[in-house]
């Protein structure tokens, strides 16, 4: 294991978060029900927890971001933290969350029940995947307060057709689960009554696999983004030959298939 990587579970205690490890997944849950509003202290804790996940991600398959209760993943960033005396610090701390998420090589999954609005929507959208309960309400209503959401302004036009992105950002519309799925913002919608069980099955798809191979795949997806076909393929070929194929898990997976036995991964 590389020097500086923490093998053990996340041990920190937080006032506004719950953190745990389970079967190859790190879980970070916002713990400010019922609306799980993100104020500056909560976001500072979230940044600390994400830095701890980063320090030990070679022992993980994925990160799950979720929240306590069924009413809201997060109704957004605390409005009182947008005042002139706090807004600079708020933006600094809030955007650091995305800088942390952007450096993670493990896949990230937002487990979303209820409202994901404003900053809560941005956190969910920035994850690699979203699994939502049927009571999902998601959107960026900041324009109704006379402001715009910087992260969503960058990300949403990259995720949905530009004209729909304009409508959502400039109109502040909140959409429900069916449209979120049709726009490609959400991977899967689950009935609230069976959410825990069905989300567990979705998560097991990834935690049953090689963490090293998942990290290599995410690096390859990112490396190809925005490039021409030829440049993208050349870059991904290099990652496949030089980053993936020398790993123990790549050798183990191929050997296990040829030997007709289950693979035994180094991590996860």
Confidence of residue 9 (pLDDT cuts 50, 70, 90): low
Question: How many separate helices (H) and strands (E) can be counted in the chain?
Answer: 10, 10
Arithmetic mean of pLDDT, 83-94: 97
In the chain, pLDDT over 70 holds for what percent of residues?
95
> Is 259 assigned a catalytic role?
no
Single out the catalytic residue among 142, 162, 179, 248: 142
Residue that the structure tokens 């699994």 belong to: 131
Catalytic member of 122, 167, 173, 252? 122
Residue-level pLDDT at 10? 56
- Domain residue limits, the chain: 17-207, 211-258
Judge whether 122 counts as a catalytic residue.
yes
| Closest listed residue to residue 243, CA positions, set 201, 198, 213, 210 | 213
Class of the CATH-defined domain 17-207: alpha beta
pLDDT for res 13: 85
Residue 5: per-residue pLDDT: 40
Cis before 34 (ω within 30):
yes
Using CA atoms, how far apart are residues 70 and 47, in angstroms rounded to an integer?
24
Question: How many CB atoms neighbour CB 188 within 10 A?
Answer: 14
Q: Is the pLDDT of residue 4 over 50?
A: no
* pTM for the model: 0.93
pLDDT digits (tens, 9 = 90+) for 193-229: 999 999 999 999 999 999 999 999 999 999 999 999 9
Judge whether residue 8 has pLDDT over 70.
Answer: no
Cα–Cα dist 3/80, whole Å: 42
Does pLDDT of 234 surpass 80?
Answer: yes
Residue 46: C-alpha distances to residues 19, 36, 59, 157 (Å): 10, 12, 20, 26
Q: Where are the beta strands (DSSP E) in 155-241?
A: 174-176, 188-190
Average pLDDT over residues 74-97: 97
Report whether pLDDT(180) > 90: yes
DSSP annotation string for 8-72: S------SSEEEEEETTEEEEEE--TTTT-B-HHHHHHHHHHHHHHHHTGGG-SEEEEEESSSSE
Helical spans, DSSP H, in 67-149: 87-103, 119-126
Segment 137-157, tens digit of pLDDT: 999 999 999 999 999 999 999
Confidence (pLDDT) at 3:
30
3-state helix, strand, coil in the chain (%, to 5): 50, 15, 30
């Amino acid at each position: 294991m590389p020097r500086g990587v923490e093998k053990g579970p996340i041990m920190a205690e937080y006032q506004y978060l719950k953190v745990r490890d389970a079967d190859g997944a790190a879980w970070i849950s916002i713990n400010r029900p019922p609306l799980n509003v993100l104020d500056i202290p909560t976001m500072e804790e979230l940044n600390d927890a994400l830095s701890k996940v980063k320090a030990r991600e070679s022992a993980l398959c994925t990160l799950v971001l979720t929240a306590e209760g069924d009413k809201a993943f997060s109704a957004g960033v605390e409005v009182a933290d947008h005042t002139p005396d706090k807004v600079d610090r708020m933006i600094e701390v809030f955007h650091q969350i995305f800088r942390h998420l952007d450096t993670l090589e493990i896949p990230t999954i937002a487990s979303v029940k209820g409202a994901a609005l404003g900053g809560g929507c941005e956190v969910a959208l920035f994850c690699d995947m979203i699994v939502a309960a049927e009571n999902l309400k998601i959107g960026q209503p900041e324009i109704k307060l006379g402001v715009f959401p910087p992260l969503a302004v960058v990300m949403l036009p990259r995720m949905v057709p530009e004209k729909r992105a304009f409508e959502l950002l400039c109109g502040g519309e909140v959409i429900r689960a069916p449209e979120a799925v049709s726009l490609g913002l959400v991977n899967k919608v689950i009935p609230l009554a069976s959410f825990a069980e069905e989300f567990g099955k979705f998560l097991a798809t990834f935690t049953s696999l090689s963490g090293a191979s998942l990290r290599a795949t995410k690096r390859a997806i990112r490396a190809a983004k925005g490039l021409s076909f030829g440049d993208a393929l050349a870059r991904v070929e290099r990652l496949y030959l030089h980053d993936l194929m020398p790993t123990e898990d790549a050798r183990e997976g191929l050997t296990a298939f040829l030997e007709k036995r289950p693979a035994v991964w180094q991590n996860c």
